[in-house]
Every structure is written in structure tokens, then in C-alpha cells.
Chain A
Amino acid sequence: MARFGMVIDTKKCVGCMDCVVACKTENNVPEGFNRDWIVQDARGSFPTVNLEIRSERCNHCDNPPCVYCCPTGASHIHNLGGVVLVDHELCIGCKACIASCPYDARFVHPEGYVDKCTFCIHRVEEGLDPACVSVCPTYCMYFGDLEDPNSEVNKLLNSRKHHAVLPEAGTKPQIFYLE
């Protein structure tokens, strides 16, 4: 089985939000809503500052509470790559999944169902990278199969120091940030 994940090189990311804009147009994310976003994490005091910039989105967790808590099965693990998806036709909008996500990755779409990053599965199934990955002008995002030892994502993880966001929440996030 494939296990899709992302590896994002914070050394190259400039926080330009192209990934966010691309997600908007690709997926028609309505005005005022975001499936992905940028976190700037600055530590230290002037002029000795360390700044980590992260392009964040649903982590497509391996242990996804949002799926477990869903009463209808709308939130589910897709049969391809462990991607966590929401079936709009099954979602009743109870918002339990929103409350369950430590990353606040979900939101209520104006049409009533809960929405979030899909890892652009419609593109991935056509052999393309997710929209955010494919536009990034710094080429800092990598998408691929974490279970394939020869995938670029795996090579990067094996060769570079990395971390996930909030692993202590225990959801097993599948997006990794290279340091």
C-alpha cells in the first residue's frame, strides 16, 4: 500500500503563499476560507532571530481522530495512499471532526459540509502533483509515497533532519518539515 505524504523544505520556503493561492483556484476554495496556510515561527531576539516558515494543511494523519469521531463515515481514509477525505454527500455538519483536529485543518464550507485539504487526490490520480506542490516557486515542496524507499520524499527524510508539527498530539501527521 502506498502512503502519501509531503516533505517541505523550510530552508527554501519563503512564505510567499503561492501554495495557498494555487489551492484556492485549483479547488475553488471560497473567499475567506483556506485549506492551507503559512505559519511563520520566529524565535530569538533582534538581531539573532531564527525563523521557520511552514506551509501547513491537513496532515492526513495516520491515526486520524477526525475519521474516528465522524458519525456518518463522511470523514474517511481513501483507499489510495491513506489520504483523509470528506464525502460531502455523507457529511451532516456536526463539526465533531473539526473539534477533534489538533491542527484546525478543517472548516465548514458555506455549502454546509466540512471541507479541508484533499492532497489534491484528483490530480494525484491523474499522475500530477498536488496543486500547491506543483506551483511552489522555490520547489520546496515534495509529495510522494512514504512507503516507497526510493521515493524522493523518503530520500529527503533519510538524509535531512526533519520534524512534524505537534506530533505529541498523537495523530501521526504525514507532513514533514526539513530543517
Chain B
Amino acid sequence: MNEITNTRMNPGIDPSLSIWNWEIPIYLFLGGIVAGMMIISGYFLFKGRTKDVECSCFLVPFISFILLSFGMLALFLDLEHKAYVWRVYTTFKIKSPMSWGSWILILIYPILILNILIRIPDFLSKKLKFLKSISLKINSHPTAIKNIGLVSMIFGALLGIYTGVLLSSLGARPLWNNSTLWILFLLSGLSSAAAFVHLIAKSKYESHLLAKADNVFLSLELIVLVLFLIGLLTSTQVHISAAEFLISGNYAPLFWVFVIGLGIIIPLIIQLYAVNNKIKHQPVAPIMVIIGGLILRFVIVNAGQASHWFNAGMLK
């Protein structure tokens, strides 16, 4: 028998950690999807395929801009000492993913803006005439567009990776403390982004192309998820206990049904049929992927907070 009592009862800490509510998963999700979108649009810009995939190249950056801003807003809402937020930008802490993230976010905005400037949406160009001239200038340098694509891909990848590293660097939470988390979040961001383009692209070609890409991302994501769990299950008791949260614990229903089932496998099957022209493309599949991606963030953030060194049955 092992009986532990602890007199500490700090709000948000006890009985189990709950410092991060909806804001952080939303932020991680939006950050992830924007990362995916940047990689996708960046790739096509870099490849010079702007004509084939107009939505990806010109609408997506604009949507990214909006989604990222919502993400930043969520992040800001989560801060407890809001008036001091500017302190993040008075320093750079090389060991702090949070610091990296803050600076990456700051750099991503100009990249997105450049991207948007390549082809300015009508409503903006009507109001802000001077933008037109900037746009013209960019378009007169094809290598500039290529470079914007490259930078967009790089920073998209950084952003996607960072959302995972943010959690995996927190060694105190065994569920997060896993070297596959960044790949998982990157792939999930990509699959959600691809699903999103697949959903909204007007061109059949583009939609179809992105569905194909999405299938690749989803398959990889599934593999990484399995590796993620195997990694935990073959580690120490604390990590095994953490994995059990997802596999058989409180978060298992959400995890199996919404993340794995409805979020990956079923849309993957639907989209496999669709890309092989067995059925028509269904909007339901990409919607499921996007919701699955969102729930993945919630499950990982919440279960991660609940997972603890003391959960291993040795102490708490």
C-alpha cells in the first residue's frame, strides 16, 4: 500500500494541472493549419504552379493571415499578465521554444503579407491603391516569387514544428516529452491544411490534387501516431501511464473515435475512393480531417496536462 496526501491545493495546479484551457489547443491548431497552408502555398509558388492552383497560391495566404491572427488572439487571451506581453519582444531566449515561437510568429506576418501582395484581393486593391504598385514590382521579378515560396515553406515548417516542440520541451509532462510530437503536429497541420484547400478550392484539379496530398499526409500522420504511442509504451512506467491516458484512460473515447476514426481513417478511406474516382469528392471527408486535427490538439494538451511523473502509481 502506498498512501500519499498532499496539502497543496493551488488553483490550476491541483488536483491535476489545468492551466491551459481552450485557448492553447485552438492556438496550436490554428498555428498548425497555417503552417500547413504556408508549406502548401509556398511549395506551389516555389514550383511556379500558380496557374494550376490559384486557391492555394493566392487565397490561402490571405486566409492564413486571418487564421493566424485568431490564433495569436487565442494565445494572447491565455496570458495571465496581458499588459506585459511586450516583454516577449525585449529579449530572445535561445532555450525557450516560446521565445522562438514568438519571434517566428513576428516574422511570419511579413512573409504572409508578401505572399498576399503577389496577387492582392480585389477589395483591398480598390481601397489601398499603392499596394498595386508593390504587387507589380514583385511580379516583375519571377525569382522573387520563387523566393517568397521558399521562405514561406521554411517558416511554415518552422511554425508547424514549433507547435509540437512547445509541448515536447516540457519534460515534466511525460505525454508531451516525446521526440515524435513535432512531426505529428507538422503532419496534422499539413493534413488539415490540405483538407481545407481540398474543401474550398474552386478548381476540380486543385481540389483533387490536394485530396491526394491529404491522403499522403493522413497516412503518414497515422504512422507517426502509432510510433508516438509505441515510443511511450516502450519507455518508463511514467510514459506508459501517460500513453494509457489515450489508449484506455479518460481520453480514449475522444482519441479513438474522433482523432483516429473520424479524423484519419474514415476520411482517408473516403478520399482514397474519391481520388480513385470510385466516388465523388465529399466535403464531409475534409471537414472530418479538420475537426480531427482540432480534437487532436485538445486531447494532447489536456491529457498531457493530466499526465505526470507522479501518476505512475509510484507517488501520487
CB atoms of A and B under 8 A apart anywhere in the complex? yes
B2–A100 touching, CB < 8 Å: no
B7 touches A45 (CB 8 A): no
Contact B17 A98 (CB under 8 A): yes
Q: Flag if A92 contacts B84 (CB, 8 Å).
A: yes
Q: Is the CB of A95 within 8 A of B20?
A: yes
In B1-52, which residues have CB < 8 Å from any A CB?
A: 1-14, 17, 19-20
* Contact indicator B95/A102 (Cβ below 8 Å): no
Bound CA span A123–B312, Å: 37
A interface residues with partner B (beta carbon < 8 Å):
17, 20, 32-34, 37-45, 56, 65, 68-74, 89-96, 98-102, 104, 106-108, 112-114, 166, 168-170
A72–B171 contact, CB under 8 A? no
**Which residues of A have CB within 8 Å of B96?**
68-71, 96
The residue among A33, A56, A91, A94 with the most chain B CB atoms within 10 A of its own CB is: A94
| A107-B93 in contact given A99-B17, A112-B81 (Cβ < 8 Å) | no
CB-nearest residue of chain B to A88: B81
Asked if residues B14 and A72 are in contact (CB atoms below 8 Å), the reply is no
Distance from B97 Cβ to chain A, minimum over Cβ atoms (Å): 7
One of A99, A108, A112 near B173 (C-beta < 8 A): A99
Which residues from chain B contact A108 at a C-beta distance below 8 Å? Answer: 11-12, 19, 80
Contacts of A34 in B (CB 8 A): 7-10
In contact, B91 and A94 (Cβ under 8 angstroms): no
Report whether over half of chain B's contact residues are helix, strand or loop; otherwise say mixed: loop
Q: B169 on the interface (CB 8 Å rule)? A: yes
Assuming the contacts A38-B7, A40-B5, A108-B19, asked whether A169 and B172 have C-beta atoms less than 8 A apart, the reply is: yes
From known contacts A72-B91, A98-B19, infer whether A107 and B171 are also in contact, taking CB-CB under 8 Å. Answer: no
A99 in contact with B172 (CB, 8 Å): yes
List 3 tightest A-B contacts by C-beta distance, closest first. A93-B80, A37-B8, A93-B81
Q: Judge if B227 is at the interface, Cβ distance under 8 Å.
A: no
Q: A69-B97, A69-B98 are in contact. Are A39 and B5 (CB under 8 A)?
A: yes
**Chain B, interface residues (CB within 8 Å), range:** 35 or more
Whole-angstrom CA separation of A70 from B14 in the bound complex: 22
Determine if A41 and B4 form an interchain contact, defined as CB atoms under 8 angstroms apart. yes
Contacts of A69 in B (CB 8 A): 95-98, 169-170
Between B11, B85, B93, B315, the greatest number of chain A beta carbons within 10 A of the residue's beta carbon is seen for: B93
Question: Bound complex: CA of A39 vs CA of B81, how far in Å?
Answer: 30
Knowing that A40-B4, A98-B12 are A-B contacts, what are 9 other residue pairs whose CB atoms are under 8 Å apart, sorted by A's residue number?
A43-B2, A73-B93, A74-B87, A93-B84, A96-B170, A102-B308, A106-B13, A107-B12, A112-B82
Are A71 and B81 CB-contacts (below 8 A) given A100-B171, A102-B309, A107-B10?
no
Bound CA–CA A90/B91 (angstroms): 10
CB distance from B20 to the nearest CB of A (A): 7
Contact of A39 among B4, B10, B97 (CB under 8 A): B4
Q: Give the CA-CA distance A81 to B82 in the complex, in Å.
A: 31
Q: Flag if A99 contacts B170 (CB, 8 Å).
A: yes
Distance of B74 from chain A, by nearest CB (Å) = 13
Q: How far is the CA of A5 from the CA of B267 in the complex (A)?
A: 56
Assembly CA distance A44 to B1 (angstroms) = 5
Closest A residue, CB atoms, query B86: A92
A residues in contact with B101, CB < 8 Å: 71
